[in-house]
Structure 1
Amino acid sequence: MTARWRGTGFLLRFALRRDRVLLAAWLAVLVATVAASAAATGSLYASTADRVAAAEAINASPAVVALYGPVLDTSSLGELSMTKMTVLYAVFVAFLSVVLVRRHTRVEEETGRAEVVGATAVGADAPTGAAVLEAVLASVVLGVLVAVVDVACGLPLAGSVLFGASWTGIGLVGAGVALLAAQVSSSARTVGLLASAVIGVFYLARAVGDLAAEWLSWLTPFGWGTRLSAWSEPRVWLLAAYPLLAASLVGGALALRRRRDLGAGVLPERAGPAEGSPRLRDAAALVWRQQGTALVGWTVGAAVLGVLMGSIVPTIGDMLDTDATRGVVEAMGGVGALQDALVFALASVVAVVVTCFGVAAVTRAAGDEHDGRTETVLATATSRSAVLVALASAALAGTTWLLLVSGVATAIGRGDGLAAVGASLAQAPAVWVVLGLALLLLSVRSRWAVAGWAVLVVCVTLGQVGAALELPGWVLGLSPYHHVPKYPSEAFVWRPEIALTAVAALAVSGAWWRYRSRDIG
């Protein structure tokens, strides 16, 4: 090993230790999702005719194809089982690598820890190498686990291995994208936005290719997963495209890394105005200014996702028109009732995603406090109460706005009334409870704000899979999402909404009271 890479192994072990909880949680969720999909599809579509009918219904819906990709072999159980996993959930695989690489490269430089590490007997490229190796290891482990659970759930061995390898490849590409973005900007937040934008472009190009111009699907890694045809007549050679693209991205990133100063980006930072805008004189305006760009991006994403999901609702009857499911659909009240249930299910998923925006806003405030920016604000004629109220307003109002946008977009996509708007807004009190707890953690100690993500994970686990695990009712009730009325599949009930709102108000009030007296930083 050359001097520039000295200490890579040590930093890799340290990174794995730091990320042991993050990696375990992320891998467990992804593997469990694959296992659930593989296990459920076989029982729903027992015969070849049922599988062909379901696959043809998917291919006949442009919205479903744009979201999940097409089913190339309509008779394949493996391809039908992994339809959502092949494209949509591969995005989360890419983001896992983005989180890992950004955390151990740009975040370390931005906080100054990379400079401290660089002052020891560690090579200049060791931190970069350790970050990439961690992402590679995580991707390989994920690919192996996914292949194992697919085989365990009854899917063919060869297809399972190839599918797992495609997820490993997506993880490698995500690492390369993140590393290149980390060289462009000196801001960790901007790096996240750049990497997200590139992944979004890859995904959008795949959607356009699957709908109108097939050649575009061959140019994006999210299209390769479908074109691989892992479950029938596979194009094994296509797997080589993933490491080739990843190696090109990493090579370009290393070249840029060696031409820039530590802590700086290739793109120079722009100097701010000599005098601040009068509109930023109060804490609320400042917080909303900080969250504005992210909120715009989230709004666009919520609108697009809502329209796509709304377009899927009318086709659910065709997708589930099999001998095994027909009786279940009739027992639920027919296709109309099934569509209403799907609207609620989609709204509950969106609510979890939207909650991430609010939790991210709270953790960002904790970062401002660590970096001394909050203390600078408080040195002016700004009270602590005003800072917390501004943060709470951005988190609570921002998530409510996103729920509204998603509901309206889903109603537009469905083209049938505004029931989707009510279903989406009904989730708001549950979202507020989670954000209230995150604010309460921040008010106790700034470093506790990151535990807001743990609160979200626990609530989602109880709310989404608790019933399947047959947990006691009082345990399920710990998740605020469990109490949301199942509107429009059931009548709307005000009592749980009022109770959740009261709990959220108590949490925010407690955060406001505690934040006024604790030490900053």
Structure 2
Amino acid sequence: MRGTGLLLRFALRRDRVLLPAWILLLTAMVVASAAATGPLYDTEAAQVAAAEALNASPAIVALYGPVLDTSSLGELSMTKLTVLYAVFVAFMSVVVVRRHTRVEEESGRAELVGATAVGPDAQVAAALVEAALASVLLGILAAAGDIACGLPVAGSVLFGASWTGIGIVGAGIAVLAAQVSSSARTVGFVASGAIGVLYLVRAVGDTTAQWLSWLTPFGWGTQLSAWHEPRVWLLAGYPVVALALTAAALALRARRDLGAGILADRAGPARGSARLRDAMALVWRQQGTALGGWTVGIAAIGVLMGSIVPSIGDLLDQDSTRPIIESMGGVGALQDSLVVALASIVAVVIACFGISAVTRAAGDEHDGRTETVLATATSRAAVLVAVASASLVGSTWLLVVSGAATALGRGDGLAPVGAALAQAPAVWVVLGVALLLLSVRSRWAVAGWAVLAACVTLGQVGASLDLPGWLLGVSPFHHVPKYPAEAFTWAPEVTMALLATLLVVTAERRYRGRDIG
């Protein structure tokens, strides 16, 4: 374990942008939900009716989990965050642990560090400690946000503790997945698949066989019943599972060579395909598997969210909200507003794919692969254009899939497709900034995550935080037309598309003039 503290400091320094952006964004979501729910239901009867309506929809229960105590404002406020947003907490730990374990081995840096006076388990320990510290900090901030918005102290603390617990479980899943394959990308798929299975088991348990919900950490957040008659003992399950996963990972790690995985690598063909003769084909070959996985996931989310839209009228059919619904134009207009809200949330998730494509290009440059490609008859402009196409075109394709899947789930026209595509120029602007950061310096590409977090905070939750209009306008998401709830306007869309084009062109020119690496 020698050198764990030094490696931890180094890891924290490398993640000085990524972790704060992730933590602050999730905390902002907690504050926004806690602050917005109370004023929406001014009586306990309205809260109970809304919670019962949530429980009456199998699609909503599958997505968010049930509301066990229908009279609890805290549980109603944190319904989405208890289960659905806990997935993002787990992914935060997966990203951290994978980055400082398998990615380091794949690049060869782990072998260099291991050749110094550093213990063999120091790198794994540092990654796990960092993930645990980030989870604890996130749990504290989430609890503080709930308390600041007037929710009960005890329930807020237990809710924050459940997020901390799911974070350390995510770290355990990641460190175990890191022993499976020598490819960091495969490790990401294995960890994502494990989280998806655990979430699916929870969804099946909450809608049919309830005992299944007790078998997955994503079900414990609900079964904890943090806001009414809490089962505090259930919190002990998170560290137990995390320790079991870590112990299994260390046992497997002792049986493999550094840089290798438990599953043997499959030998590739002796000759590369003729289709990979240029940078464009190579980049799309690299991103193809990821894009396929994202397509399936986004399609599933779209169908599930689309199936919720028709029941929104029942969820908000209260004496206090009925005049608001009527003033908006009735239940149909309310459903259109929900389509807009869902499209904006999914657009942020899809932007993550685009930024990951840019940061992968930065990783290729760090590891010398870009320099190898440029040693052939390949121009720098061709490399950046290929990366930009994977990021922008791939994200646009996912927006189309999201809209089509939502329309399929709703079963009432193609309006969701238009709502999804309306988000495209805003996504392009964010990705254009990420490409510009890459073109200035490869190590700056990771700041694209901070840009996305800032835009989401301003565009998605800024209004609920009463931020001034000029500050909200900094986010491109703030200018997206609220189609189909409102008439479509071309001016902001064209302006953002032109801005994105300018950013990409500037990035291409800057990339051609700087040193590689």
Would you call these one fold, judging by a TM-score over 0.5?
yes
User: What CA distance in whole angstroms lies between the structure 2 residues aligned with 1:158 and 1:495?
Assistant: 49
> In structure 2, what is the equivalent of residue 499 of structure 1?
495
Distance 1:383 1:489, change over 3 A: same
Matched, 1:238 2:234: yes
Which is further off, 468-477 or 42-51?
468-477
Q: Deviations along 1:442-485, whole A, 9 cap, x unmatched?
A: 22332222222232223222222333444444433332222221
SS in 2 for 1:271: coil
What's the CA shift string for 1:15-73, capped at 9, x where partnerless?
Answer: 33433443333222222222222232222223232122111111111111111011122
Cα 1:129–1:479 change in 2 (3 A) is same
- Contact 2:60/2:308 (CA < 8 Å) preserved in 1? yes
Aligned residue in 2 for 1:445: 441
Asked if the contact 2:18–2:450 (Cα under 8 Å) also holds between the matched residues in 1, the reply is no
Out of 197, 202, 219, the residue aligned to residue 198 of structure 2 is: 202
Q: Which letter maps to 2:342?
A: L
Give, in whole Å, the separation in 2 of the partners of 1:468 and 1:78.
18
1:404 is matched with 400
Q: CA RMSD in A?
A: 1.9
Does structure 1 conserve the Cα–Cα contact (< 8 Å) formed by 2:384 and 2:511?
yes
Query: Closer, same or farther in 2 for the Cα pair 1:310/1:389, shift >3 Å?
Result: same
Report the counterpart of residue 95 of structure 2 in structure 1. Answer: 99
1:144-159 correspondence runs (5 A): 144-159=140-155
What is the aligned counterpart of 1:430 among 409, 426, 429? 426
Secondary structure of 1:324's aligned partner: coil
Query: TM (normalized to structure 2)?
Result: 0.95
1:8 and 2:4 correspond: yes
The count of corresponding residues between Structure 1 and Structure 2 is 517
Match of 2:485 among 484, 489, 512: 489
Contact 2:21 2:449 (8 Å CA) reproduced: no
In structure 2, give the amino acid aligned to 1:435.
L
Task: Quote the offset at 1:251 in angstroms.
Answer: 0.3
Pairing 1:294–2:301 present:
no
Deviation at 1:199, TM superposition (A): 0.5
Structure 2 residue 129 is the aligned partner of structure 1 residue 133: yes
Deviates more, 1:15-24 or 1:488-497: 15-24
**Pick from 71, 80, 86: which aligns with 1:84?**
80
Matched, 1:31 2:34: no
1:94 corresponds to which letter in structure 2? A
Report the CA distance shift for 1:375/1:20 in structure 2 as closer, same or farther (over 3 A): closer
Counterparts of 1:241-320 in structure 2 under 5 Å? 241-320=237-316
Tell me, in whole angstroms, the C-alpha distance in 1 between the residues paired with 2:508 and 2:10: 37
Once residues 393 and 26 of structure 1 are traced to their aligned partners in structure 2, the CA distance between those partners, rounded to angstroms, is 26
2:414 is aligned, of 413, 418, 421, to 418
Partner of 2:118: 122
TM-score, normalised with respect to structure 1: 0.94
**Per-residue deviation, 1:341:** 1.4
Match of 1:61 in 2: 57
Equivalence map 1:162-177=2 (5 Å) = 162-177=158-173
For 1:49 and 1:473, the matched residues in 2 are separated by 35
Counterpart CA distance in 1 for 2:378 and 2:146 is: 56
Q: CA deviation at 1:336?
A: 1.7
CA offsets 1:269-325 (integer angstroms, 9 cap, x no match): 222110011221222221111111111111111111111111121222222222332
CA distance in structure 1 between the partners assigned to 2:21 and 2:67 by the alignment: 30
Identity %: 77
Change (3 A) 1:499 1:39: closer
User: Which of the numbers 344, 348, 351 marks the counterpart of 1:348?
Assistant: 344
Higher-RCO chain (CA-CA 8 Å, sequence separation at least 6): 2
User: CA 1:35–1:497 in 2, change beyond 3 Å: closer, same or farther?
Assistant: closer
How big is the shift at 1:262?
Answer: 2.0
Q: What is the rounded CA distance, in whole Å, between the counterparts of 1:254 and 1:463 in structure 2? A: 43
- What one-letter code is carried by the residue in structure 2 that aligns with 1:95? F
- Alpha-carbon separation, structure 2, partners of 1:18 and 1:387: 26
CA gap of 1:39–1:471, structure 2 versus 1, over 3 A, is closer
Please name the residue that 2:319 is paired with. 323
**Alpha-carbon contact 2:22-2:453 (below 8 Å) kept:** no
Does residue 143 of the first structure (1) align with residue 139 of the second (2)? yes
Amino acid at match of 1:320: L
CA distance in 2, matches of 1:445, 1:27: 25
The CA distance in 2 between the partners of 1:477 and 1:151, in whole Å, is: 29
Paired amino acid for 1:61: S
Residue identity matched to 2:442: S
C-alpha distance in structure 2 between counterparts of 1:444 and 1:39, whole Å: 39
State whether residues 135 and 163 of structure 2, in contact with CA within 8 Å, keep that contact through their aligned partners in structure 1: yes
Conserved 8 A contact 2:18-2:446: no
Determine whether 1:390 maps to 2:397.
no
Q: Distance in 1 between matches of 2:49 and 2:168?
A: 35
Q: Structure 1 residues 116 and 180 mapped into 2: Cα distance closer, same or farther (>3 Å)?
A: same
SS state of the match for residue 471, structure 2? helix
Is 91-100 or 156-165 further displaced after alignment? 156-165
Give the 3 Å change call, closer, same or farther, for CA 441–138 of structure 1 in structure 2.
Answer: closer
Partner of 1:70: 66
Instruction: Return 115-124 or 76-85, whichever deviates more.
Output: 115-124
Counterpart code for 1:224: W
Measure, in 2, the Cα distance between the counterparts of 1:114 and 1:360.
22
CA, structure 1 residues 148+389, in 2 after alignment: closer, same or farther (shift >3 Å)? Answer: closer
